[in-house]
Structure 1
Amino acid sequence: MKVERLKILVVEDEPDQRSLISQMLEANNYQITSADSVEGAIVSLKQDVPDLVFSDWKLGQLSGMDLLTYVRREHPDMGFIIATAYGTITHAVDAMQAGADDYLAKPYQRQSLLLAIEKVAKSLVLKKQNRRLTSELSQQQELVGIVGKAPCMQKVYSRVQRVSATDATVLIGGESGTGKELAARALYQLSQRKHKPFIAINCGSIPESLAESELFGAEKGAYTGATSLKIGKLEAANGGTIFLDEIGELPLLQQTNLLRFLQEGLISRLGQNGEIKLDVRVIAATHRDLKFEVEEGRFREDLYYRLNVVPIHMPPLRERQEDIGRLVEHFLKLHSGQYKMEQAKLSANTLKQLLDHPWPGNVRELSNRIERFVLLGDEEEMLEELSSQPKPLNTSQFSLPEEGIEWEVFEKDCLEQAMNKHQGNRTKAAKFLGLSYKAFLYRLEKYQLV
Structure 2
Amino acid sequence: MKQQPLKILVVEDEPDQRSLITKMLAANGYQVSSASSVEEAIVMIKSDLPDLVFSDWKLGQLSGMDLLIYVRREHPDMGFIIATAYGTITHAVDAMQAGADDYLAKPYQRQSLLLAIDKVAKSLVLKKQNRRLTSELSQQQELVGLVGKAPCMQKVYTRVQRVSATDATVLIGGESGTGKELAARALYQLSQRKHKPFIAINCGAIPESLAEAELFGAEKGAFTGATALKIGKLEAADGGTVFLDEIGELPLLQQTNLLRFLQEGVISRLGQNGEIKLDVRVIAATHRDLQHEVKEGRFREDLYYRLNVVPIHMPPLRERQEDIGRLVEHFLKLNSSQYKMDAPKLSAATMKQLLDYPWPGNVRELANRIERFVLLGDEEEMVEELSGQPRPINTSQFSLPETGIEWEAFEKDCLEQAMNKHQGNRTKAAKFLGLSYKAFLYRLEKYHLV
TM-score (norm 2): 0.82
Question: Is the alpha carbon distance of 1:396 and 1:102 closer, same or farther for their aligned partners in structure 2, counting shifts above 3 Å?
Answer: same
Once the two structures are overlaid, the 10-residue window that deviates more, 291-300 or 317-326, is 317-326
Q: 2 CA distance for matches of 1:171 and 1:121?
A: 49
Find the counterpart in structure 1 of residue 407 from structure 2. 407
Q: 2 CA distance for matches of 1:74 and 1:90?
A: 25
CA contact (8 A) 1:143 1:183 kept: no
Question: Is the alpha carbon distance of 1:21 and 1:239 closer, same or farther for their aligned partners in structure 2, counting shifts above 3 Å?
Answer: farther
Q: CA deviation at 1:284?
A: 1.6
CA contact (8 A) 1:144 1:160 kept: no
CA contact (8 A) 1:3 1:121 kept: no
CA contact (8 A) 2:146 2:182 kept: no
Question: Is the alpha carbon distance of 1:28 and 1:275 closer, same or farther for their aligned partners in structure 2, counting shifts above 3 Å?
Answer: farther
Q: CA deviation at 1:11?
A: 3.4
Q: 1 CA distance for matches of 2:158 and 2:193?
A: 19
Q: 1 CA distance for matches of 2:414 and 2:83?
A: 82
Q: CA RMSD in A?
A: 3.9
Q: Report the 3-state secondary structure (helix = DSSP H, G, I; strand = E; otherwise coil) of the residue aligned with 1:359.
A: coil
CA contact (8 A) 1:7 1:30 kept: yes
Find the counterpart in structure 2 of residue 268 from structure 1. 268
Question: Is the alpha carbon distance of 1:196 and 1:38 closer, same or farther for their aligned partners in structure 2, counting shifts above 3 Å?
Answer: farther
Q: CA deviation at 1:30?
A: 3.9
Q: CA deviation at 1:180?
A: 1.4
Question: Is the alpha carbon distance of 1:56 and 1:229 closer, same or farther for their aligned partners in structure 2, counting shifts above 3 Å?
Answer: farther
> Cα deviation per residue 1:295-340 (whole Å; 9 max; x = unaligned)?
2333232322222222111122233334344434444444445444
Alignment of 1:63-142 (within 5 A): 63-142=63-142
CA contact (8 A) 1:197 1:237 kept: yes
CA contact (8 A) 2:252 2:299 kept: yes
Once the two structures are overlaid, the 10-residue window that deviates more, 405-414 or 361-370, is 405-414
Question: Is the alpha carbon distance of 1:146 and 1:275 closer, same or farther for their aligned partners in structure 2, counting shifts above 3 Å?
Answer: closer
Question: Is the alpha carbon distance of 1:108 and 1:345 closer, same or farther for their aligned partners in structure 2, counting shifts above 3 Å?
Answer: closer
Q: CA deviation at 1:44?
A: 3.6
Aligned length: 450
Q: 1 CA distance for matches of 2:432 and 2:286?
A: 23
Q: CA deviation at 1:447?
A: 7.8
> Cα deviation per residue 1:328-379 (whole Å; 9 max; x = unaligned)?
4444444445444444445555555444433322222233334334444555
User: Structure 2: any 5+ residue segments left out of the alignment?
Assistant: none
CA contact (8 A) 1:261 1:267 kept: yes
Find the counterpart in structure 2 of residue 26 from structure 1. 26
> Cα deviation per residue 1:92-136 (whole Å; 9 max; x = unaligned)?
122212221111223333443333223223322332233233333
TM-score (norm 1): 0.82
Q: Report the 3-state secondary structure (helix = DSSP H, G, I; strand = E; otherwise coil) of the residue aligned with 1:76.
A: coil
Question: Is the alpha carbon distance of 1:400 and 1:166 closer, same or farther for their aligned partners in structure 2, counting shifts above 3 Å?
Answer: same
Q: Report the 3-state secondary structure (helix = DSSP H, G, I; strand = E; otherwise coil) of the residue aligned with 1:54.
A: strand
Q: Report the 3-state secondary structure (helix = DSSP H, G, I; strand = E; otherwise coil) of the residue aligned with 1:410.
A: helix
CA contact (8 A) 1:290 1:299 kept: yes
Once the two structures are overlaid, the 10-residue window that deviates more, 158-167 or 428-437, is 428-437
Question: Is the alpha carbon distance of 1:51 and 1:68 closer, same or farther for their aligned partners in structure 2, counting shifts above 3 Å?
Answer: same
Q: CA deviation at 1:184?
A: 1.9
CA contact (8 A) 1:11 1:56 kept: yes
Q: CA deviation at 1:255?
A: 2.7
Question: Is the alpha carbon distance of 1:249 and 1:79 closer, same or farther for their aligned partners in structure 2, counting shifts above 3 Å?
Answer: same
Q: Report the 3-state secondary structure (helix = DSSP H, G, I; strand = E; otherwise coil) of the residue aligned with 1:271.
A: coil
Q: 2 CA distance for matches of 1:193 and 1:45?
A: 46
Find the counterpart in structure 2 of residue 396 from structure 1. 396
CA contact (8 A) 1:430 1:437 kept: yes
Question: Is the alpha carbon distance of 1:407 and 1:94 closer, same or farther for their aligned partners in structure 2, counting shifts above 3 Å?
Answer: same
Question: Is the alpha carbon distance of 1:432 and 1:86 closer, same or farther for their aligned partners in structure 2, counting shifts above 3 Å?
Answer: closer
Once the two structures are overlaid, the 10-residue window that deviates more, 23-32 or 166-175, is 23-32
Question: Is the alpha carbon distance of 1:167 and 1:21 closer, same or farther for their aligned partners in structure 2, counting shifts above 3 Å?
Answer: farther
Q: CA deviation at 1:77?
A: 0.8
